Amino acid sequence: MALVGKTAVVTGAAMGIGRALAEILLENGAKVALLDINEAAAERPLQALEQHFGAEKTIFLKCDVESEEQIRAAFKKTVEIFGGIDILCNNAGVLNETSWEKTISINLMGVIRGTYVALEQMNQLSGGRGGVIINMASMAGIGPLLSCPSYTASKFGVVGFTRAMAAASEASGYGIRFNAVCPGFVQTDLITNIPVRLGQFSNLAAATHKLVDVMGTIAVSDVAAAALELLIDDTKNGEALLVLQSGATYMQFPTFNPTQNKPL
């Protein structure tokens, strides 16, 4: 997909990976609606993006991904201003084992909510233009992170949901590709103060820090570049792209043929 003239929605866009996603989309010619619950945190980044790319290319919409009503209103406003939606980046996420229900609600249910509302605008079967949905997963969605079981569950869910939606879209003719980015440890607030985020698993903080030391960290720009690759390559559908300091790898999974009931 060529991004020039396309419209993208990015959740959790005020800072970190979300802001990097917005920047790379704008750099490649897209218009971007930045969604975030934190209006104050978004103010300065939005001003910087408007100054660099033009105020007509960006909008900020306050949105809590735990609220279907707010998601629906934000998408409707995006369509009113930009004329449609071609790209959705479900990026909003948290890591907090002290509140596992909220972790699941934001990381997994927020992705599902956002996707299902986006389908109303993007699905070619209902008059949409098709497009691409990128879901932000994690390396924890590929292999479990011992100190973060709920976070791990949420990200495994994102990978599974992405792959299932990709297959459903292809079989049904939605005209939408679905892919997941699975970053390792990223230089964001998410991995800051890890011990206070681990709750009953705080005894495993040292093991987590050791894993960070061994694996290293990556920049938000590395994650954004991986998302861009999945966006522009029309052959990518149902992919989970693992992004580590050592490089990016497309994960291999078993696929089942529903007509023959056996793996391919």
Q: What Å distances lie between residue 136 and 40, 89, 201, CA to CA? A: 23, 7, 24
Q: Residue 94 and residue 50: Cα distance in Å, rounded?
A: 27
CA distances from 229 to 39, 42, 121, 237 (A): 29, 26, 23, 12
| DSSP annotation of 106 | I
Who's near 51: CB < 8 A, 6+ residues apart? none
Q: Evaluate whether 118 touches 169 at the Cβ level (below 8 Å).
A: no
Tokens of 47: 């001003």
In the set 116, 151, 174, 250, the catalytic residue is 151
Query: Closest Cα to residue 42, out of 12, 17, 70?
Result: 12
In the structure encoding, which two tokens stand for residue 12, read together? 């959790």
Asked whether 72 and 116 are in contact (CB, 8 A), the reply is: no
151 noted as active-site residue: yes
User: In residues, how long is the chain?
Assistant: 264
Amino acid at site 260? Q
Catalytic positions: 151
